[in-house]
C-alpha cells in the first residue's frame, strides 16, 4: 500500500498539474469504485481544483464549492497521468478524471477492487474520513510519546495504526524499527525513554529520506510506486543480508502481512515466532539467529 512518502510525491505532482485546472469530466470505469451517493458525482464536474492534499494514505482534490474528491489507493491502486485523449489500459482502469491538460487515472491490479473514491461536501464530512492519526512532522517528541503509549501495543502495531499516526504502513514501519534498532514486538509502554526518543528520530528520518528519494526518482509523474525497493534495509528482503551486520533478514508472517527485521540489530539475536513455521516446528524452532 502506498504510504506517506509515496502519497506525498503523488500530491506534489498532482498539485503541479491540477492547481486551478477545471475538472471537465468524471469517468467511472468501474461503478464500484465510487463509495458515496450524495452529493452526486456529476456535481464535481465543471469545478476548479483549488488544492491537492494528503489525508492519511488518501489523496484529496479540493474543488470549488467546498467539495472534496477523496481517493484511497488501498494495496494495489495506483495513479497515472495521461496525455489528453490517451488510450486507457483496459481492465486495470477504475476511474478517470479529465482536465484540459490531461487525465488523472486510477488503476488497480488484481481483482479485489479495494481502491475507492468518495465525493464529500464540507470540511466536516472530509474530517469524518480521517482516522485521526498524528503527522509525525507536526508534533514533538513528547506528543509522539504520549500518542505511542495511549495503549500498550507492539511497536509494529502502534506505528501502523492510522488512529495513532498518519500515513505509516507495513513497509516503512519495518524500515523505521530497523533504523531505531528496536524489536517489532516490543511493547510501547515498556519502552525506555531513550528508546522512545530513538524511535521518534528514526520515524521522521526514514519518512523524510524516502520522500526525498522518491522525489528524486520521479521528476515527472511517479511510474513505479511499490512497497519494495532494493535500497530498503529489511522490508521485503527476507533471507538477504542486513546492510548493517550482514545477518540474514528474518520475518514474521501473519495472514497476508509480513514483518521483516534483523535479529542481530533489533532483537539481541533472538528469533521471533513467525506464527507459521515456528508453530509447526514447536520445540525444534531455533531460539536465536546463531542457532539458525
Q: Is 275 left (phi over 0), alpha (psi -120 to 50) or beta?
A: left
Name the phi and psi angles at 147, rounded to 5. -70, -45
CATH number of 4-127: 3.20.190.10
Residue 54's beta-bridge partner residues? 59
Task: Please report how the helices 4-18 and 193-217 are oriented relative to each other, as an axis angle in degrees rounded to 10.
Answer: 40
What's the number of CA atoms in the CB half-sphere (13 Å) around residue 275? 10
Mean pLDDT of the residues in the chain:
92
Whether 73 contacts 54, CB under 8 Å: no
* pLDDT higher than 90, residue 285: no
CATH number of 136-284: 1.10.8.50
CB atoms within 10 A of CB 270: 15
Whether 265 contacts 245, CB under 8 Å: yes
CA distance 210 to 227: 11
Instruction: Pull the grid cell for residue 127.
Output: 474530517
What's the number of CA atoms in the CB half-sphere (13 Å) around residue 187? 4
Q: What is the pLDDT of residues 169-191, one digit of tens each?
A: 999 999 999 999 999 999 999 99
Model-level pTM greater than 0.85? Answer: yes
**Which sequence spans correspond to the domains of the chain?**
4-127, 136-284
- pLDDT of 289 reads 59
Amino acid at each position: 500500500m502506498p504510504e506517506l512518502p509515496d502519497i506525498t510525491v503523488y500530491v506534489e505532482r498532482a498539485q503541479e498539474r491540477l492547481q486551478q485546472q477545471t475538472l471537465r469530466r468524471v469517468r467511472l470505469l468501474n461503478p464500484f469504485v465510487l463509495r458515496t451517493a450524495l452529493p452526486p458525482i456529476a456535481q464535481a464536474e465543471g469545478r476548479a481544483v483549488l488544492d491537492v492534499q494528503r489525508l492519511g494514505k488518501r489523496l484529496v482534490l479540493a474543488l470549488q464549492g467546498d467539495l472534496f474528491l477523496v481517493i484511497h489507493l488501498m494495496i494495489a491502486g495506483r495513479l497515472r497521468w495521461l496525455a489528453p485523449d490517451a488510450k486507457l489500459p483496459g481492465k486495470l482502469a477504475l476511474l478517470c478524471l479529465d482536465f484540459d491538460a490531461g487525465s488523472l487515472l486510477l488503476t488497480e491490479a488484481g481483482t479485489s477492487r479495494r481502491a475507492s473514491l468518495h465525493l464529500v461536501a464540507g470540511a466536516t464530512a472530509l474530517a469524518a474520513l480521517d482516522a485521526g492519526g498524528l503527522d509525525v512532522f507536526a508534533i514533538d517528541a513528547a506528543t509522539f510519546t504520549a500518542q505511542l503509549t495511549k495503549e500498550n501495543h507492539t511497536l509494529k502495531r502502534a506505528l501502523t495504526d492510522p488512529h495513532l499516526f498518519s500515513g505509516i504502513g507495513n513497509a516503512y514501519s519495518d524500515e523505521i524499527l530497523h533504523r531505531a534498532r528496536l524489536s517489532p514486538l516490543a511493547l510501547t509502554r515498556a519502552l525506555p525513554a531513550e528508546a522512545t526518543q530513538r524511535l521518534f528520530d528514526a520515524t521522521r528520518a526514514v519518512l523524510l529520506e524516502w520522500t526525498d528519494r522518491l522525489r528524486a526518482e520521479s521528476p515527472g509523474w511517479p511510474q513505479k510506486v511499490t512497497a519494495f525497493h532494493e535500497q530498503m534495509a529489511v522490508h521485503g528482503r527476507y533471507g538477504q543480508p542486513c546492510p548493517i551486520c550482514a545477518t540474514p533478514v528474518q520475518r514474521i508472517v501473519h495472514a497476508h502481512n509480513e514483518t521483516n527485521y534483523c535479529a542481530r540489530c533489533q532483537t539481541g539475536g533472538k528469533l521471533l515466532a513467525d506464527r507459521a513455521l515456528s508453530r509447526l516446528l514447536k520445540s525444534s524452532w531455533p531460539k536465536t539467529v546463531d542457532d539458525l
